[in-house]
Amino acid sequence: MARPIWTGTLSFGLVAVPVGLYSATEDHAVHFRQLQRGTSDRVRNQRVNERTGEEVEYRDIVKGFELAEGEYVVVEPAELERISPGRSKSIEISGFVDLTQVDPIFFDKTYYLGPRGKEYGKVYGLLHRALADTNRAGLATFVMRGKQYLAAVRVEGDVLVLQTMHYADEVRDPHRELDNLPEPAVEPTEKELAVARQLIEALSEEWDPQRYHDTYTAQVRELVEAKLAGEDVVTAAPAPESTNVVDLMAVLERSLAQAGAGGTDGRAAEPGPAEDGGPAEDLTGLSKAELYKLATERELPGRSSMTRDQLLAALQGRAAEPKRKGKRPLRAVS
């Protein structure tokens, strides 16, 4: 079982239940070490006193609020705790709100909330059931790692989740940040708008998170494997060019034809022969995400940079192969 990253008390009214906060997501990105070029020597970051150049132990570091150049007010961790005792150990629900009223831009990170013992299951279950029945979320504040968060406590399946939120003054006004928003006078024609709506309807689908994959991370892994094997690195297709306003209608119509047929040129790809001479698999009804998943299972090389049609053609022309067992040890390559 995972260890909680924060423990404390969740309270609403006079009702309180001890809870633990657990990460709801995990990072699958490829992480690199920093090396000096031409060597296998790691480059490390250190906490260094900028005046003496000497490394400073973590326990000897305090917080300093800068008043002027080189002039600070020093604050100890214990002093921060004393100004608001207990706040770092409680999630206090102050009110309940319909989640549909909250703009998604306010939400930040999601955590699971779990009771800190079976004896608290009834109180935990009470809040869970009440929130589910009323379709509400509890708005709360709590302190974690020296920072106070605004949060929403809501139901997700059979558990309670906590979503940290941005405060209103942390959300930037787009009209102040962007200086190139279209003027109100810049309106699409009725025909362009009608085709754009058709395109949206043609590409509409049910939300299924399993259909989406981090293809960039897969490309990075293939890059490492290719360099390890001394193979050429496959270059991905370039980013699409910006649409010329003059050609907007033509591009919309081609996009609609492509979406309707499921191919890049408005036609569904024809099934090709299987490698063993037998009938090819009929994969034409699969989405790109589903084709990519199948290509991953069969370890199809270069899959990360392929379009849907290229994946389809490659899979229909490739017999199913068993997965390779084991992993090759990685070594330093250039």
Q: What is the DSSP string of 221-260?
A: HHHHHHHHTTPPPPPPPPPPPPPPGGGHHHHHHHHHHHHH
Least confident range from 16-30, 121-135, 307-321: namely 307-321
Mean pLDDT of the chain, nearest integer: 78
Q: Check residue 324 and give its pLDDT.
A: 41
Q: Any idea how long the chain is?
A: 334
Task: List the beta strands (DSSP E) in the chain.
Answer: 6-12, 15-23, 63-68, 71-75, 90-97, 107-115, 137-144, 147-156, 159-165
Beta bridge partners of 64: 74
* 25 neighbors 14 (Cβ within 8 angstroms): no
Across 143-176, b (16+ Cβ under 10 Å) vs e yields: bbeeeebbbbbbbeeeebbbbbbeeeeeeeeeee
Average pLDDT over residues 92-96: 91
Average pLDDT over residues 221-250: 71
Q: What Å distances lie between residue 146 and 33, 61, 80, 87, CA to CA? A: 29, 15, 8, 10
Q: Check residue 137 and give its pLDDT.
A: 93
Per cent of the chain over pLDDT 90 is: 22
Q: Does residue 273 have a pLDDT over 60?
A: no
In this structure, the strands spanning 137-144 and 147-156 are: antiparallel
Q: Check residue 293 and give its pLDDT.
A: 75
Separation of alpha carbons 61 and 98, rounded Å:
43
Average pLDDT over residues 103-125: 92
The confidence band for 249, taking pLDDT boundaries of 50, 70 and 90, is confident
Q: How many CA atoms, within 13 angstroms, populate the side-chain half-sphere of residue 286?
A: 21
SS3 164: strand
Separation of alpha carbons 272 and 294, rounded Å:
17
**Cα torsion angle, 117, 120, 122, 128, sign:** negative
Average pLDDT over residues 107-133: 92
Most confident of 169-173, 268-272, 311-315: 169-173
